[in-house]
C-alpha cells in the first residue's frame, strides 16, 4: 500500500516539477448544482497525456425529508490527440466512494426504489470517458465530459430516510453512465 502511495507522490512530483506551467485546477459545476463541494487537479504527464483527479464531498443533509451525503474520488488518465488541455480528450478512469442517501431518486436509474428507503454503503468502479475543453482566455478553460463504465455497489437498505431497521443488504452491479462533468478550469 505504501509503495503505491509513494509511487503516486513521485509521479506527481515529477510531473509538477517539469510541467508546472500547465497544472490545472477545476470545479465540476454539476456537483455544485447538487449541493456538493468539488475540486480537481490535472497534471501533464507527457506531450499529449495528463492525469486528472477530482473529488466531491457532501457531508450535510439536504432537508428534513431526505438524506444525501457522499464522498467520491475519480481519477482519469487522459490522451489529447491535438493539444494538451485544449480540445478533445479521452481515456480510462476509476472511481470510488461512500454514500448515505434516502428518500431520493438517483440519476440513470441507479438503485431503483431509493425514494421510500435509505441506502448507505460504498462503491468502486471504472470505465472509459471522453470530453472537450475549450480555452476561454489564457488561463481559463471550460470543459465537458461523459463516461461509460461499471460500478460495484455494496449497500445496506433501511426502512426510512433517517431512522429505521435494517431491511436488506447486498450488492448491485451497475453498467452505464458513471462520469459526467461540466467544469470551469484554471490553467497555471
- pLDDT reported for residue 46: 85
Cell for 70? 457522499
Helix H, strand E, coil C: the string for 44-64 is EEECCEEEEEEEEEECCCCCC
pLDDT tens across the length of the chain (188 residues) = 445 444 444 454 544 444 445 799 999 999 898 889 999 999 998 889 999 999 999 987 766 667 778 999 999 999 999 999 999 999 999 999 999 888 766 655 655 666 778 889 999 999 999 999 999 999 999 999 999 999 999 999 888 766 778 889 999 999 999 999 999 999 99
Amino acid at each position: 500500500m505504501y509503495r503505491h502511495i509513494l509511487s503516486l507522490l513521485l509521479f506527481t512530483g515529477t510531473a509538477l516539477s517539469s510541467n508546472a506551467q500547465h497544472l490545472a485546477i477545476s470545479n465540476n459545476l454539476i456537483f455544485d448544482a447538487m449541493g456538493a463541494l468539488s475540486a480537481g487537479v490535472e497534471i501533464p504527464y507527457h506531450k499529449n497525456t495528463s492525469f486528472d483527479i477530482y473529488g466531491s464531498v457532501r457531508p450535510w443533509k439536504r432537508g428534513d425529508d431526505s438524506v444525501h451525503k457522499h464522498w467520491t474520488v475519480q481519477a482519469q488518465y487522459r490522451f489529447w490527440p491535438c493539444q494538451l488541455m485544449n480540445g478533445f480528450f479521452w481515456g480510462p478512469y476509476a472511481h470510488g466512494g461512500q454514500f448515505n442517501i434516502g428518500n431520493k431518486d438517483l440519476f440513470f436509474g441507479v438503485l431503483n426504489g431509493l425514494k421510500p428507503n435509505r441506502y448507505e454503503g460504498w462503491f468502486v468502479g471504472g470505465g472509459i470517458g471522453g470530453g472537450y475543453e475549450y480555452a476561454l482566455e489564457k488561463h481559463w478553460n471550460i470543459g465537458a465530459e461523459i463516461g461509460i463504465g461499471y460500478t460495484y455497489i455494496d449497500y445496506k437498505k433501511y426502512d426510512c430516510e433517517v431512522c429505521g431497521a435494517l431491511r436488506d443488504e447486498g450488492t448491485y452491479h451497475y453498467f452505464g453512465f458513471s462520469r459526467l462533468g461540466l467544469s470551469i478550469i484554471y490553467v497555471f
